[in-house]
Amino acid sequence: MSDTSEKVNLLGLSPAKMEAFFLEIGEKKFRAQQMLKWIHQYGESDFEKMTNMGKALRAKLSEVSEVVLPEVVYEDFSKDGTRKWVMRMPGGSSVETVYIPEKDRGTLCVSSQIGCALDCSFCSTGKQGFNRDLTVAEIIGQLYVAAMSFHKPGERRERRITNVVMMGMGEPLLNFRNVVDAMHLMMDDNAYGLSKRRVTLSTSGVVPMIDRLGDVTDVSLAISLHAPNDELRNELVPLNKKFPLSELIAATNRYLKKLPDKRKATIEYTLIDGVNDEMSHAEELAELMKQVPCKINLIPFNPFPNSGYRRPSNNRVYRFRDYLISQGHVVTIRSTRGDDIDAACGQLVGKVEDRTRRKERYIKAVQLDNDQGGQAV
Q: Calculate Rg over the CA atoms of the chain.
A: 22
202 is in an annotated binding site: yes
Cβ(115)–Cβ(98) below 8 Å: no
Beta strands in 124-272 (DSSP E): 130-133, 163-166, 199-203, 220-224, 265-271
Cβ neighbours for 3, distance < 8 A, ≥ 6 positions apart:
none
Cβ neighbours for 366, distance < 8 A, ≥ 6 positions apart:
306
302 is in an annotated binding site: yes
224 is in an annotated binding site: yes
**Residue 294 annotated among the catalytic residues of the structure:** no
Q: Where are the alpha helices (DSSP H) in the chain?
A: 15-24, 30-36, 55-64, 136-148, 176-187, 207-216, 230-236, 245-258, 279-288, 314-326, 358-376
State the catalytic residue, choosing from 96, 109, 268, 294: 96
Instruction: Tell me the CA end-to-end span of the chain in Å, nearest whole number.
Output: 68
Gap between the Cα atoms of 27 and 62, Å rounded: 14
List C-alpha distances in Å: 214 to 197, 253, 280.
14, 11, 34
State the catalytic residue, choosing from 44, 268, 294, 345: 345
Pairing of strands 94-101, 83-88: antiparallel
Gap between the Cα atoms of 120 and 234, Å rounded: 9
**Residue 27 annotated among the catalytic residues of the structure:** no
Gap between the Cα atoms of 37 and 164, Å rounded: 19
Gap between the Cα atoms of 280 and 286, Å rounded: 10
* Count of C-beta atoms within a 10 Å radius of residue 62: 13
123 is in an annotated binding site: yes
Query: Which of 7, 36, 8, 20 has the alpha carbon at shortest distance from 185?
Result: 36
Cβ neighbours for 33, distance < 8 A, ≥ 6 positions apart:
190
* Count of C-beta atoms within a 10 Å radius of residue 284: 16
Beta strands in 294-354 (DSSP E): 294-300, 330-333
Q: Is 75 helix (H, G, I), strand (E, B) or coil?
A: strand
Residues forming the active site: 96, 345
- The annotation places the binding site for S-adenosyl-L-methionine at 170-171, 202, 224-226, 302
- The annotation places the binding site for [4Fe-4S] cluster at 116, 120, 123
- The annotation places the binding site at 116, 120, 123, 170-171, 202, 224-226, 302
